[in-house]
């Protein structure tokens, strides 16, 4: 009955006469009358009072808008399935832990197993949460710096038809997804390196120093591996933050043709300078640590530091590390005072130039024209 009434009303309004109230193809019919709302699949369940109200609306000479909305989705089923999967994974993992504990206990090493389990758990959750917090804090600062207009409503043309969409609906969830994925990956990576952290926190005394850096042996056996892990972790985080800042800076411009000009002005250059400062400092620490493995590098006749490395490469790497620290300080000053893209590029290029000259060109010249003619005398301790 309701279907026939709506069809007749559509004919009276000059609209299509094939109006369907189905959940598969909900329609929104504008005949220019007051609004009546129907849920799909409920036409047959409408009582006489509701039909009376519909007839009263149809008899009026004002515009009628019939909106057939979608039925509310039952999301609780999806959450129930996700919870069931998580509980199943926890159950399977608990069984594996219990069996492993029984096996270690049968050998008399139950305490060792629980120490390893505790170390892995602390490293996984510690670095996962710390990574998520750092990335979320950086994203929060970036969002406040650029404002909500960066991901405002945009209009794109598809088949010559304008379509409006709002990137802000996807930016925040994407930030959370990226933070959680990075946190899980770093947590799993650090969990597998539990032995290095265990040796670091329970290192034995080995005060014998090396002849080049005057560092104790315990530094190379227990401390340096952990420092390398932390350095790599910080560099990756700094790179991720810098890429996010660049994406926000490009998105803050209205036209792609002005994107490069937009990067060199105001908020974008300040945010890029701050992110670059963090990356410069992380690179400085990594380059400083990269000097120590030269002690056990292998060569044709011996293992250790060569004449060119001891007198040119290692000092050059130290200068590069200091130059990156200075570049980081310069980037911070540039972010809050100068705000110049040229100054930022110069600050980043200076350490690279120092490395090319002092770490590549000069050692190559010394090796070819000074060391090789008298290699035995130059490489003697």
pLDDT in tens, 120-169: 999 999 999 999 999 999 999 998 888 765 666 666 666 677 767 666 67
Q: Which of 69-83, 137-151, 325-339 has the lowest mean pLDDT?
A: 69-83
Longest Cα–Cα distance in the chain: 110
pLDDT of 73 reads 57
What's the pTM? 0.74
Residues facing residue 303 across a β-bridge: 298
How does DSSP classify residue 205?
P
Please give the backbone phi and psi of residue 358, each rounded to the nearest 5 degrees, phi first.
-85, -25
CA atoms of 8 and 15, how far apart (whole Å): 10
* Residue 267 · residue 245 · CB < 8 Å: no
What are all long-range contacts of 364-367, with beta carbons under 8 Å and residues at least 24 apart?
366/307, 366/308, 366/311, 366/312, 367/306, 367/308
Mean pLDDT across the chain: 80
- Coil, helix or strand for 14? coil
How does DSSP classify residue 210?
P
CA atoms of 192 and 181, how far apart (whole Å): 17
- Coil, helix or strand for 155? strand
In tens, the pLDDT along 92-103 reads 888 988 898 999
Q: How far, in Å, are 81, 183, 223, 336 from residue 130 at the CA level?
A: 29, 8, 21, 27
Mean predicted confidence (pLDDT) in 70-86: 76
Q: How far, in Å, are 69, 163, 164, 165 from residue 156 at the CA level?
A: 26, 5, 7, 8
In tens, the pLDDT along 289-323 reads 999 999 998 877 778 898 899 999 999 999 999 99
pLDDT of 272 reads 93
Number of neighbours of residue 209 by Cβ within 10 angstroms: 12
The proportion of the chain whose per-residue pLDDT surpasses 90, expressed as a percent, equals: 49
Domain chopping of the chain, boundaries: 2-68, 74-108, 206-214+251-381
Confidence of residue 53 (pLDDT cuts 50, 70, 90): low
CA atoms of 299 and 296, how far apart (whole Å): 9
Q: Determine which helix (DSSP H) or strand (DSSP E) holds 161, and give its type and residue range.
A: strand 161-165
pLDDT of 66 reads 47
**What is the residue-wise DSSP string for 56-110?**
HHHTSSS--EEEEPPPPP-THHHHHHHHHHHHHHHHHHHHHHHHHHHHHHHTT-H
- Coil, helix or strand for 206? coil
In tens, the pLDDT along 1-47 reads 545 554 554 445 444 434 444 444 444 444 443 344 444 444 444 44
């Amino acid at each position: 009955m309701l279907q026939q009434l709506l069809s007749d009303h559509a004919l009276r309004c000059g609209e299509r006469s094939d109006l369907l109230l189905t959940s598969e193809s909900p329609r929104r019919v504008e005949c220019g009358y007051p609004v009546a709302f129907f849920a799909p699949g409920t036409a047959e369940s409408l009582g006489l009072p509701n039909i009376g109200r519909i007839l009263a609306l149809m008899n009026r000479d004002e515009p009628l808008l019939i909106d057939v909305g979608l039925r509310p989705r039952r999301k609780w089923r999806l959450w129930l399935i996700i919870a069931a999967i998580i509980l199943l994974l926890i159950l399977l993992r608990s069984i594996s832990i219990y069996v492993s504990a029984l096996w270690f206990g049968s050998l008399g090493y139950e305490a060792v197993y629980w120490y390893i389990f505790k170390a892995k758990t602390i490293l996984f959750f510690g670095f996962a949460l710390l990574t998520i917090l750092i990335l979320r804090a950086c994203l929060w600062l970036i969002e406040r710096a650029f404002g909500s207009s960066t991901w405002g409503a945009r209009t794109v043309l598809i088949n010559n038809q304008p379509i409006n969409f709002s990137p802000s609906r996807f930016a925040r969830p994407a930030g959370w997804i990226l933070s959680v994925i990075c946190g899980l990956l770093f947590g799993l990576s650090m969990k597998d390196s539990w032995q290095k952290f265990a040796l670091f926190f329970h290192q034995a005394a080995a005060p014998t120093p090396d002849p080049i850096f005057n560092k104790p042996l315990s530094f190379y056996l227990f401390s340096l591996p952990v420092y390398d892990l932390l350095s790599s972790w910080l560099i990756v985080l700094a790179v991720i933050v810098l890429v996010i800042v660049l994406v926000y800076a490009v998105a803050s411009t209205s036209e792609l043709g002005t994107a490069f000009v937009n990067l060199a002005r105001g908020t974008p250059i300040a945010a890029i300078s701050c992110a670059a400062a963090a990356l410069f400092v992380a690179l400085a620490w990594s380059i400083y640590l990269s000097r120590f493995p030269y002690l056990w590098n292998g060569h044709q006749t011996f293992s250790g530091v060569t004449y060119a490395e001891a007198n040119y490469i290692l000092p050059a790497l130290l200068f590069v590390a200091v130059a990156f620290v200075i570049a980081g300080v310069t980037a911070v000053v540039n972010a809050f005072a100068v705000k110049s893209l040229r100054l930022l590029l110069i600050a980043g290029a200076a350490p690279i130039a120092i490395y090319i000259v002092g770490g590549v060109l000069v050692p190559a010249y010394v090796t070819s024209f000074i060391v090789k003619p008298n290699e035995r005398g130059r490489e003697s301790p």
